[in-house]
Structure 1
Amino acid sequence: MAEKAPPSLTAVAVSSLLLGLLAGYFLGQGSSIGVFGGSGTSKQAKKSWPNSYDVKVHADSSDDQADDEDEADEEDEDGDGKELKDFKDSNEDVKLVLAVRTDLGMGKGEEELTRQRNLLANPSLAGKIAAQCSHATLACYKYLLNHVTSAPMLKRWERGGQPKIAVQVKSEEEMETLQAQAISLGLCARIIHDAGRTQIAAGSATVLGILGPKSVVDQVTGHLKLL
């Protein structure tokens, strides 16, 4: 019998390629169904389904102050409310104006500002400002709520969506002048003093809240720039 010719190099190469592809296919299928066991990473991913992705939680800047909550003291908390007018004959909208001092550094301690630097130039101070405005809003609400004569006006403010406008004042002296004007018109005017547990010196007047009929409030704050 004649001897068979040895396979050509091309045939060997093609056969090897086919065998490799088949082996790879079966290995892949076996791995997917767990025949060969999953790696630690795969097991961890299956265990955490459907959140199998890695999530890293980074500390927020607010976390650094979690144990240093912003606090404030309201001025004249025990006022008798005799200065308030009921404005019962007025049907116009009621609004709250929050006059914020712009000469204080209300932000993170490492970003302490000089009195000459406008805090509006630093967006990171918004958190401190928001906290002080919240104190002033609550102070005005509580003060009016505790005096029956102002109840109808307070209800109008609530029904109207509790409009609030933030404006700028440049000093404590200007703030006190505005408060005196507001009180003389029978408006609710409450100044908030910082408790000094964060970045501002204790006792610093930060925000003045004035709540009342729009036209009356505008007599006091209408000339001030928006915050």
Structure 2
Amino acid sequence: MNHLNSNFPVFFAVAAASLVTGYYLGQILPSASRTSQVQEILRQCKQKAELNSQEQQNESSDYDGDEETEEEEDEDYEINSISLNDVPGEVRMALVIRQDLGMQKGKVAAQCCHAALSCFRMIACDSGRESYNPQMVQRWLRCGQAKITLKCPDKETMDELYAKAISLGVNACVIHDAGRTQIAAGSATVLGVGPAPKAVLDQITGELKLY
């Protein structure tokens, strides 16, 4: 899990290039171009996730027989957020909740916890991951681990927010539900973004309403 795929530099180059133009994603690009860019980023994320999944399957190939699992999955495209360490100000984490699923409050709370933990694991727990950024984590901890919950109308909007976070070099993950209760399996429920400087988070979630 700790070794890097030979294609990783390509992904990092794309993310770095996107970082330069990310702040203007919503203002300059026409709607069609913005949609195309979002789809391309999501395609890259999916491709990398599939490569990681294949590697994990190869590593576990010593086991015989069929094995079925049902668990919540994280869609996490590892992004290097080191460049954001120079951005001053408060550091926060944002938890963006889909509203069209009609999740009850207990379900929402569980999904938000899962998103927060997944973001923290990506950025704080494994020095071998590209997303590892202990300096950002320490700033977040000193700020009291600030978190904010926000509303998102549907999956299309969540996808666009996720792609925008990646383009700005911000740690992010999407939680997909296992489908044991309330909603269909595989449904994207909560988007976790950060920890990252508030000034950068506002470029992604600044127009969303509080949950």
What TM-score does the superposition give when structure 2 sets the normalisation length? 0.61
Q: Does the CA-based 8 Å contact 1:72-1:132 persist in structure 2?
A: no
Correspondence 1:132 to 2:111: yes
- Shift of the 126–82 alpha-carbon distance from structure 1 to 2, 3 Å rule, reads closer
Q: Does the CA-based 8 Å contact 1:83-1:183 persist in structure 2?
A: no
Correspondence 1:173 to 2:156: yes
Larger Rg computed on CA atoms: 1
Correspondence 1:207 to 2:190: yes
Name the residue aligned to 1:143.
Answer: 122
Q: Does the CA-based 8 Å contact 2:95-2:149 persist in structure 1?
A: yes
SS, match of residue 202 in structure 2: helix
Name the residue aligned to 1:59.
Answer: none
TM superposition shift of 1:84: 2.9
Question: What amino acid sits opposite 1:105 in the alignment?
Answer: G
Correspondence 1:217 to 2:201: yes
TM superposition shift of 1:134: 0.3
Correspondence 1:158 to 2:137: no
TM superposition shift of 1:82: 4.1
Q: Does the CA-based 8 Å contact 2:93-2:146 persist in structure 1?
A: yes
- Shift of the 132–161 alpha-carbon distance from structure 1 to 2, 3 Å rule, reads same
SS, match of residue 95 in structure 2: strand
CA displacement, residues 142-186 of structure 1 (integer Å, 9 cap, x when unaligned): 000134751100111011111111110010010000000011000
- Shift of the 75–82 alpha-carbon distance from structure 1 to 2, 3 Å rule, reads closer
Question: What amino acid sits opposite 2:176 in the alignment?
Answer: H
- Kindly indicate which of the two structures has a greater share of residues assigned to helix: 2
What TM-score does the superposition give when structure 1 sets the normalisation length? 0.57
Name the residue aligned to 1:96.
Answer: 93
SS, match of residue 207 in structure 2: coil
Q: C-alpha distance in 2, partners of 1:220/1:152? A: 21
Q: C-alpha distance in 2, partners of 1:180/1:99? A: 13
Name the residue aligned to 2:72.
Answer: 72
Unpaired runs of 5+ in structure 2? 1-70
Q: Does the CA-based 8 Å contact 2:79-2:171 persist in structure 1?
A: no
Name the residue aligned to 1:44.
Answer: none
Question: What amino acid sits opposite 2:169 in the alignment?
Answer: G
Q: C-alpha distance in 2, partners of 1:164/1:129? A: 15
Q: Does the CA-based 8 Å contact 2:111-2:175 persist in structure 1?
A: yes
Unpaired runs of 5+ in structure 1? 1-70, 107-124
Correspondence 1:84 to 2:81: yes
Report the number of matched residues. 137
Q: Does the CA-based 8 Å contact 2:80-2:132 persist in structure 1?
A: no
Name the residue aligned to 1:60.
Answer: none
What RMSD in Å do the two structures reach over aligned CA positions?
1.8
SS, match of residue 175 in structure 2: strand
Alignment of 1:41-52 (within 5 A): none
Q: Does the CA-based 8 Å contact 1:95-1:162 persist in structure 2?
A: yes
Name the residue aligned to 2:66.
Answer: none
